[in-house]
Amino acid sequence: MTWQARIDTALRAREASHSLRRRVVCTPEPGGALVHQGVRYRNFSGNDYLGLSQHPTLIAAWRQGAETFGVGSGASGHVSGYSGAHQSLENALAQWLGFDRALLFISGFAANQAAVAALMQQPDRILADRLSHASLLEAASYSPATLRRFAHNAPGALAALLGKPCDGLTLVFTEGVFSMDGDCAPLADIAGLAQGEQTLLMVDDAHGIGVLGREGRGSCDVAGVRPDLLLVTFGKAFGLSGAALLCSESMADYLLQTARHLIYSTAMPAAQACALDAALTVIREGDDLRARLARNITRFRAGASQLPLTLADSQTAIQPLIVGENGAALTLAEKLRERGCWATAIRPPTVPAGTARLRLTLSAAHQDDDIDALLEALYDGCR
């Protein structure tokens, strides 16, 4: 077999199963909207939960940061890419979330991979929720540690795994809010199990930070839990991109020596750190935004409960409608676009076979008429 034959065979198989992914060019607009090929759509596929990606304060902060620091950091943070803006943001995040230190990463994917690669050795083990993010599961599969996945949101299954002997150390991993189902982990129960000097608890709160808890401190704040490692990302409620790992002083010092994603990657632009600092202020003062998002969730769920589809049990901004087959999910997504609502069909392998869905996401930027338009389009699309 040639390389071209291998590639062509794989693409044909994806096409035949309605699982071929394609990118489209979109231009975001204020008010939870986007433009594609000159047509404006209500956007129900983004993660901009508080509508901050278009916030004038963040835009102004980025502009001022660019004028002060330039548009790129120019180096790894270990060389000359670590500025006062980066330090200020790390300090603010640590203070806000109640940790000794915060370390900035270029993405949540990189942060998860960096932590696993730096920490895990043989004969360690990783005990991860079965629906944990691909970045963690991929990193675990490449690490010398043993990966064991426990049943989704099942502390009893985790307890059973913890009860088995291990010659090394243990990393317990879960998300705060799961990205495909929008449900929340039982963090208090999991934290209660992940105790002891030989066990670390890591929580990826990409979809909870900024939205849940006091001042938007996230899932762990709601549960009254302080994990050993907390991952927060900036591509969702913060409206930007990047991530940070919150941890102890000694853990931060260790990761600075061993996390290759930090050592060998160019740091995020200082201007971006300035915008993130501004976003943090807006989030901490954003109870009105969180209240508006909560109203939108309630309004949508009240209407969607009448649809002939399975509405996931989620009280978060992620509201999946389970369609089933790939082709049916693609067809429904296209019907919504015909009605001016942008919704993306999520298909295997991102979700289990037979559970293709519309992963609908709501934002504080949406108005009542946006939610109503989505519901009307869904009613018509299901006929």
Q: Which of 107, 183, 219, 236 is catalytic?
A: 236
**How far apart are the C-alpha atoms of 146 and 149, rounded to whole Å?**
10
Single-letter amino acid, residue 328: A
Q: What is the DSSP code string of 156-176?
A: HHHHHHHTS--SS-EEEEEES
Task: Concatenate the DSSP letters of all residues of 177-214 into one string.
Answer: B-TTT--B--HHHHHHHS-STTEEEEEE-TTTTTTSSG
- Give the integer Cα–Cα distance in Å for 240 and 89: 14
Tokens of 171: 């990393």
- Whose structure tokens read 């000794």? 100
DSSP 80-128: T---HHHHHHHHHHHHHHT-SEEEEES-HHHHHHHHHHHH--TT-EEEE
Query: Which is catalytic among the residues 48, 90, 124, 175?
Result: 175
Cross-strand partners of 360 = 319
The Cα 319–Cα 28 span in angstroms is 21
Tell me the one-letter amino acid at 93.
Answer: L
236 is known as an active-site residue: yes
Cα(12)–Cα(5) distance, rounded to whole angstroms? Answer: 10
- Residue 25 gets which letter from DSSP? -
Catalytic residue among 19, 43, 45, 47: 47
3-class state of residue 204 by DSSP = strand
CB 34 within 8 A of CB 27: yes
204 noted as active-site residue: yes
Q: Which of 53, 143, 179, 314 is catalytic?
A: 179
CA dihedral 133, 138, 143, 145 (to 10 degrees): 50
CA distance 237 to 83: 24
Of 207, 228, 261, 363, catalytic: 207
User: Is position 179 annotated as part of the catalytic site?
Assistant: yes
User: Between β-strands 199-204 and 229-233, what pairing exists: parallel, antiparallel or unpaired?
Assistant: parallel
Q: Locate 49 and state its tokens.
A: 């939960």
Please state, in angstroms and rounded to a whole number, the distance separating the CA atoms of residues 21 and 23: 7
What's the chain's length in residues?
Answer: 383
Annotated catalytic sites, by residue? 47, 133, 175, 179, 204, 207, 236
